[in-house]
Amino acid sequence: MIGVGIIAVATIAVRRIGVLVFGLATVAGQLLGAVVLDALTPGPRPSLATFTGVAITFLALALAAHPRFRRADGR
């Protein structure tokens, strides 16, 4: 039942924001969660390259979601 709910929400989100932004947001959220878990648990800390990669992903998400770079018909 949870999977059906996730697919339903994803379908609605894709229709509203588009596949590219949805995919980037999904990846960015997973990366952020992984970095937070790595930072809070014992063991080696994430490297500067990891933080740089996460920052680039969020920059790509911000650019893809910005209205200036979206098509006029909302796609």
Residue 73 has pLDDT above 70, yes or no: no
Q: Note down the domain range covering 58.
A: 2-69
Please name the residue that has the structure tokens 């960015």. 28
Residue 34: CB atoms within 10 A of its CB come to: 13
75 domain residue, yes or no: no
Overall number of domains in the chain: 1
Residue 21, classified by CB atoms within 10 Å of its CB into exposed (0-12), middle (13-18) or buried (19+), is buried
pLDDT of residue 49: 94
35 domain residue, yes or no: yes
Q: How many helices (H) and strands (E) does the chain have?
A: 3, 0
Say what the pTM is: 0.80
pLDDT tens column, 14-47: 999 999 999 999 999 999 999 999 989 998 989 9
57 domain residue, yes or no: yes
74 domain residue, yes or no: no
47 domain residue, yes or no: yes
Question: Measured between alpha carbons, how far is 41 from 62 in angstroms, rounded to an integer?
Answer: 29
